Amino acid sequence: MIIVMRAGAPEEQLQDVIRKVKELGYQPHVIRGAQRNVVGAVGDERGKARLQSLESMPGVESVVPILQPFKLASREVKPEKTIVRVGDLAIGGESLTIIAGPCSVESESQLMETALAVKEAGAHILRGGAFKPRTSPYAFQGLEEEGLKLLAQAREATGLHIVTEVINPRDVELVGRYADILQVGARNVQNFALLRALGEAKKPVLLKRGMATTIKEYLMSAEYILSEGNYQVILCERGIRTFETETRFTLDLNAVPVLLKLTHLPVLVDPSHGTGHWEYVAPMAKAAVAAGADGLMIEVHMKPEEAFSDGVQSLKPKRFLSLMQELKPLAAAVGRKV
Ligand code: PEP
Ligand code: MN
């Protein structure tokens, strides 16, 4: 249920409502809006009629059910877009957020050179996996903490913020010590123990769509993080499995306007994994911006042919720079800045 407070209702009335929600055995989530505040009361669906009595409390305008199964992620509970702040960045705001970097952190020189190149081209956040979720147990699994240290070093040198993947709930604390944003990969989108652990973390989370998750299931995964009290969730469409084999995945750009309608959370697009081939990355990156995405995640490697992972889909820095330039007029045409 959503308890909608009257515009200008004083803080004490809001606190009284919060107390009452707890008394009734529900978890209150306060969403502060520009016009009015609302309290999302989340918990057992069966007793929700009892919450209706809050309608008579001072300062309460109405008590309405949240129809979507993803409660806190829905636009019903929060019509205004969420802006996730990372340093000076406003992810989900007017400016597009560009994340770029290698698939995996491989060495100090590889990461540092790539970081400097993507920074020069105008990227805002450096990506790079230190813990890699690989299909084969025999494939390169990442440099782990050593990789995290290299990422922190690259942040120091470039001023770029860092996003890196966490694949295990027991590593959330470790990865959180180094990263500015914690990434959940496609393969872990329904690892509910990981999602809950990230819900308790105080860091923004970049949650990738699974290759076989519907949009509704995807938003339910976001809900796991939100329901634990971490509202800093960024979504990222990265392609789904279809019958098509010419591309690695099918980049579902339908998901962009659908997600933007259903949720207030920022929506990014990853055309690197979404296509699996560098030649298709730029056209689909542009299509994503045209579709309304809040930003992009793009794999960039100095020498893609030598990359430990995902070389085929990685752009060389020069191509990444051209893409960044080509995005400018396109972003302006849809009312965004790069
Ligand atoms: C990645 O970002 O390198 C990655 C493993 O992506 P995904 O989880 O989308 O496959
Ligand atoms: Mn990759």
Answer for the pair 320, 300: CB distance below 8 angstroms, yes or no.
yes
Q: Which residues surround ligand 2, an ion (CB under 5 A)?
A: 103, 310
Q: Which ligand is nearest to the CA of 185?
A: 1
- Strand pairing partners for 181? 163
Angle ∠(78,79,81) on CA atoms, nearest 5: 90
Q: What is the pLDDT of residue 129?
A: 98
Q: What is the pLDDT of residue 11?
A: 95
185 within ligand 1 shell (Cβ under 6 A): yes
Chain segment 121-155, per-residue pLDDT in tens: 999 999 999 999 999 999 999 999 999 999 999 99
State the distance from the centre of ligand 1 to the C-alpha of 81, rounded, in angstroms: 25
Chain segment 151-174, per-residue pLDDT in tens: 999 999 999 999 999 999 999 999
Q: What is the pLDDT of residue 318?
A: 98
pLDDT above 80: residue 24: yes
Angle ∠(292,293,296) on CA atoms, nearest 5: 145
Single-letter residue type at 11: E
Q: What is the pLDDT of residue 59?
A: 97
Torsion of CA 147, 319, 292, 226, to 10 degrees: 0
129 within ligand 1 shell (Cβ under 6 A): yes
- Quickly tell me which residue has 């306007």 as its tokens: 257
**Non-local CB neighbours of 289 within 8 Å, separated by 6+ positions:** 96, 296, 327, 330, 331, 334, 336
Chain segment 238-270, per-residue pLDDT in tens: 999 999 999 999 999 999 999 999 999 999 999
- Take residue 156 and report the two structure tokens written for it: 């120091």
Q: Is the dihedral of CA 200, 215, 32, 24 positive or negative?
A: negative
Average pLDDT over the chain, rounded to whole? 96
Answer for the pair 266, 91: CB distance below 8 angstroms, yes or no.
yes
Chain segment 213-239, per-residue pLDDT in tens: 999 999 999 999 999 999 999 999 999
Ligand 1 atom 5: the closest Cα is on which residue?
Answer: 185
Q: What is the pLDDT of residue 35?
A: 83
Cβ atoms < 10 Å from Cβ of 71: 23
Ligand 1 pocket: which of 106, 166, 208, 309 to mutate (most atoms <8 Å of CB)?
208
Q: Counting atoms of ligand 1 from 1, which one is nearest the CA of 239? A: 9
Residue 93 has what DSSP assignment? S
pTM, two decimal places: 0.96
Assign 38 a pLDDT band (cuts: 50, 70, 90). very high
pLDDT above 80: residue 104: yes
29 within ligand 1 shell (Cβ under 6 A): no
Q: How far is CA 214 from CA 131, 222, 308, 316, in A?
A: 26, 13, 30, 32
Q: What is the pLDDT of residue 46?
A: 81
Mean pLDDT across the stretch 41-64?
A: 91
42 within ligand 1 shell (Cβ under 6 A): no
State the distance from the centre of ligand 1 to the C-alpha of 109, rounded, in angstroms: 22
Assign 16 a pLDDT band (cuts: 50, 70, 90). very high
pLDDT above 90: residue 36: no
pLDDT above 80: residue 55: yes
State the distance from the centre of ligand 2 to the C-alpha of 273, rounded, in angstroms: 6
Q: What is the pLDDT of residue 305?
A: 98
